[in-house]
């Protein structure tokens, strides 16, 4: 049986750059354009983030955004809590060269209150992704408390202590994560480990496009090129066939570039390249179901 090669498209809905305030209507117009692209080129499957942060704690969890998120879930996308606690400046009480992700009490309140808001709005919640790949074992415990089983922050090779990103030798494909050490696979005695879907990486070097933003060694629509993203994807496909192992990885694209033809074309081109080169685009929950099914098959 040919190994599956699955791609989760992380759609990052942060409204940055925020030098100019954008009203709900213009943000929703960009979201709608991304939704169209994902429907046409990825069958509607994606992991859509709902931003929260010190500047916009509630904005995207209320009002006109709620029916939009519901329509995405109807398309087959998963909804993802996405704290960007330091994107618009340091979070409250944050030391220089540190970040809010180490403040577990703060993160617990952020995550549990977001999960509650989504539940009250009748929105399904599937996964979590921290800004700048930030994650800690303590955040992992809070996710379990919130009923979240899937984590999407991992970029293998990346170690940024200032952002709580400790993914140095993380697996290159999806894994059940050790509850104590996020870059390690869970042992048999681990209780309800989180399912981690790492960013696609060429494993050549953890190259950056700028400080705290990955670049051409990963698949990041706004900070790479079509050729570089194709090269990373082809590396993942080759890995699957050489090892005879399923590969489950993610890429990221941002809604704030919607309406700019350069970025829209780059995105549709890489999605089409994935589809016509061995890949299938799936939501995180579908990826986990396929992974679990395969493990069951191998165990039986
Ligand atoms: Zn973000």
Q: What is the CATH number of the domain that holds 41?
A: 3.20.20.370
- H-type helices in the chain, by residue range? 24-42, 65-75, 104-120, 137-145, 226-243, 261-276, 284-299
C-alpha of residue 293 to centroid of ligand 1, in Å: 31
To the nearest 10°, report the CA torsion of 157, 262, 247, 82.
60
What are the φ/ψ torsions at residue 247 (nearest 5 degrees)? -125, 130
- pLDDT computed for residue 127 by the predictor: 98
C-alpha of residue 175 to centroid of ligand 1, in Å: 22
**Residues with Cβ < 8 Å from 144, sequence gap 6 or more?**
192, 194
C-alpha of residue 179 to centroid of ligand 1, in Å: 24
Domain that holds residue 62: 5-299
Q: Can you tell me the distance from the alpha carbon of 167 to that of 183, in angstroms, rounded to the nearest whole number?
A: 5
C-alpha of residue 133 to centroid of ligand 1, in Å: 9
- DSSP 8-state assignment for residue 185: B
- pLDDT computed for residue 19 by the predictor: 72
Name the domain count of the chain: 1
C-alpha of residue 50 to centroid of ligand 1, in Å: 9
C-alpha of residue 215 to centroid of ligand 1, in Å: 15
- DSSP 8-state assignment for residue 56: -
Q: What is the pLDDT of residues 17-53, one digit of tens each?
A: 667 888 999 999 999 999 999 999 999 999 999 999 9
C-alpha of residue 84 to centroid of ligand 1, in Å: 6
What protein residues have CB closer than 5 angstroms to ion ligand 1? 12, 14, 84
Q: Give the chain's length.
A: 300
C-alpha of residue 225 to centroid of ligand 1, in Å: 19
Query: Residue 11 pairs with which residues in a beta bridge?
Result: 48, 253
C-alpha of residue 230 to centroid of ligand 1, in Å: 23
C-alpha of residue 129 to centroid of ligand 1, in Å: 8
245: exposed, middle or buried (C-beta count within 10 Å: 0-12, 13-18, 19+)? middle
C-alpha of residue 131 to centroid of ligand 1, in Å: 5
Walk along the chain (300 residues) and give the pLDDT tens digit of each residue.
Answer: 567 999 999 999 999 766 788 899 999 999 999 999 999 999 999 999 999 998 899 999 999 999 999 999 999 999 999 999 988 777 777 887 888 999 999 999 999 999 999 999 999 999 999 999 999 999 999 999 999 999 999 999 999 999 999 999 999 999 999 999 999 999 999 999 999 999 999 999 999 999 999 999 999 999 999 999 999 999 999 999 999 999 999 999 999 999 999 999 999 999 999 999 999 999 999 999 999 998 888 876
C-alpha of residue 212 to centroid of ligand 1, in Å: 12
Asked whether the whole model's pTM tops 0.85, one would answer yes
C-alpha of residue 251 to centroid of ligand 1, in Å: 13
Largest pairwise CA distance in the chain? 57
For Cα atoms 285, 148, 288, give the angle at the middle one, nearest 5 degrees: 25
C-alpha of residue 87 to centroid of ligand 1, in Å: 8
- pLDDT computed for residue 91 by the predictor: 72
C-alpha of residue 188 to centroid of ligand 1, in Å: 33
């Amino acid at each position: 049986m040919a190994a599956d090669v699955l791609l989760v498209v992380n759609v990052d809905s942060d409204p940055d750059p925020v030098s100019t305030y954008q009203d709900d209507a213009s943000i929703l117009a960009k979201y709608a354009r991304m939704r169209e692209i994902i429907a046409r080129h990825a069958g509607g499957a994606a992991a859509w983030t709902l931003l929260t942060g010190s500047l916009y704690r509630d904005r995207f969890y209320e009002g006109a955004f709620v029916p939009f998120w519901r329509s995405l879930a109807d398309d087959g996308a998963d909804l993802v809590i996405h704290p960007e606690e330091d994107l618009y400046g340091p979070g409250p009480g944050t030391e220089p060269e540190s970040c809010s992700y180490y403040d577990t009490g703060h993160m617990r309140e952020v995550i549990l209150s977001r999960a509650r808001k989504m539940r009250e709005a009748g929105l399904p919640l599937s996964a979590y992704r921290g800004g700048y790949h930030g994650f800690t074992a303590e955040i992992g415990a809070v996710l379990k408390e919130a009923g979240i089983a899937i984590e999407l922050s991992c970029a293998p090779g990346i170690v940024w202590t200032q952002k709580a990103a400790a993914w140095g030798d993380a697996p290159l494909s999806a894994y059940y994560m050790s509850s104590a050490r996020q870059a390690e696979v869970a042992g048999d005695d681990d209780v309800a480990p989180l399912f981690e879907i790492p960013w696609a990486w060429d494993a050549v070097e953890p190259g950056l496009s700028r400080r705290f933003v990955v670049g051409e060694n990963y698949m990041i629509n706004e900070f790479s090129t079509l050729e570089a993203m194709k090269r990373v994807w082809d590396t993942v496909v080759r890995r699957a066939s050489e090892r005879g192992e399923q590969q489950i990885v993610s890429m990221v694209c941002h809604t704030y570039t919607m309406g700019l033809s350069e970025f829209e074309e780059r995105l549709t081109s890489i999605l089409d390249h994935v589809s016509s080169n061995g890949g299938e685009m799936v939501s995180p929950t579908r990826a986990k179901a396929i992974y679990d099914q395969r493990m069951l098959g191998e165990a039986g």
